[in-house]
């Protein structure tokens, strides 16, 4: 697909292009597809950088994001392949169920633990780009729910790179831009098309003289650091049940378990809510199964003429059914509360 798209666009010999000295890392989630189209429409083919993109997508379904981006961009786009060199003009997109990282100027795909409840997640890419490209990195946070990308954008900014954020009032889902703006003092807060024009302006400047540093922050390395420098908490990981370690990150904290699942405060709350909901549904299932079994036993006793015993089983079954309905009502109230809550 990559070679086909390149040929169709007259893109020439892909391998003859220079390795990228600059990288633009872009992250988004819900509502970010339109923003990506607007952004890439404004970036010229001559832009001297590689573009690495993470959008939260289904782990199991097919992704047509490269085709969508390629139609808007002046360069071909494709799902990342581990080991490929990152070259100027590339638009490399994280495939489903893999984190996208860079190391020594090449792509690395990581099937490690989820971060911010997602794989791919934005923070691993941004950390990786900050470590590898420093002042030659540009990070962009687009529309999306929760706060993935905020800590990673702060890492890019701390490494000397540029931090850009889609204007929250333009974003279809403003939570990710708002969280990024809380975590870092952005260099520019613009609409998506204006972000593309700003990227083009930044790429006209000479790159930093320093060579890419080559390092990257994998989930394993991040876990080792947080266990060494962080504080053990009484809380457990919603994904695997392991103990969480906490480390300050800007005005908030990052929490990570031994195997690498990582959370901000907000994403941990959502993960805990999922655990509670799953536990409540399991309780409903267990109560309804037991009530059904009691009714079956009671019916068999009734047919044998044991009316008193049958009635006793029926009352116990009715109590369990009532308990299950109470939990269903609780879940419905929680769902309605979430639907009526104001967007952040």
Task: Answer yes or no: are the C-beta atoms of 64 and 78 closer than 8 Å.
Answer: no
From residue 209, how far is each of 114, 156, 224 by CA, in Å?
Answer: 35, 17, 31
Cis ω for the linkage preceding 116 (within 30 of 0):
no
Tokens 């997109």: give the residue: 93
Sign (positive/negative) of CA torsion 174, 161, 138, 119?
negative
In three-state form (DSSP H/G/I as H, E/B as E, the rest C), the secondary structure along 59-119 is CCCCCCHHHHHHHHCCCCEEECCCCCECECCCEEECCCCCEEEEECCEEEEECCCCECCEC
Cα dihedral 163→56→97→8 (10° resolution): -80
Rama region for 185: left / alpha / beta (φ>0; ψ in -120 to 50; rest) = beta
Question: Which residues have a catalytic role annotated?
Answer: 29, 56, 148
């Amino acid at each position: 697909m990559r070679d086909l798209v390149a040929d169709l666009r007259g893109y020439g010999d892909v391998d003859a292009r220079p390795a990228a000295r600059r990288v633009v890392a872009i992250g988004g989630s819900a509502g970010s597809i339109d923003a990506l189209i607007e952004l890439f429409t404004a970036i010229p083919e001559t832009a001297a950088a590689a573009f690495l993109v993470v959008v939260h997508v289904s782990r199991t379904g097919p992704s047509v994001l490269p085709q969508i981006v390629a139609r808007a961009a002046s360069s071909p786009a494709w799902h990342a392949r581990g080991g490929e060199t990152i070259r100027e003009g590339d638009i490399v997109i994280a495939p489903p169920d893999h984190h996208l990282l860079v190391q020594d100027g090449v792509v690395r795909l990581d099937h490690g633990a989820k971060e911010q409840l997602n794989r791919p997640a934005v923070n691993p890419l941004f950390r990786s780009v900050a470590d590898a490209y420093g002042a030659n990195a540009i990070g962009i946070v687009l529309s999306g729910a929760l706060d993935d990308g905020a800590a990673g954008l702060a890492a890019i900014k701390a490494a000397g790179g540029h931090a850009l954020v889609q204007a929250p009032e333009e974003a279809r889902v403003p939570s990710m831009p708002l969280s990024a703006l809380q975590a870092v003092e952005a260099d520019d807060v613009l609409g998506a098309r204006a972000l593309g024009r700003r990227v083009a302006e930044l790429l006209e400047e000479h790159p930093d003289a320093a060579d890419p540093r080559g390092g990257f922050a994998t989930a394993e390395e991040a876990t080792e650091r947080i266990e060494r420098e962080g504080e053990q908490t009484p809380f457990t990981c919603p994904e695997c049940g392991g103990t969480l370690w906490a480390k300050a990150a800007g005005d908030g904290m990052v929490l990570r378990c031994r195997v690498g699942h990582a959370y901000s405060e907000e994403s941990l709350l959502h993960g805990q809510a999922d655990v509670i909901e799953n536990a409540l549904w399991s309780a409903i299932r267990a109560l309804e199964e037991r009530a059904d079994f009691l009714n079956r036993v009671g019916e068999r006793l009734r047919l044998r003429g044991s009316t008193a015993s049958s009635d006793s089983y029926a009352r116990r079954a009715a109590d369990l059914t009532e308990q299950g309905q109470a939990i269903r009502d609780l879940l419905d109230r929680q769902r309605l509360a979430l639907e009526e809550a104001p967007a952040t």
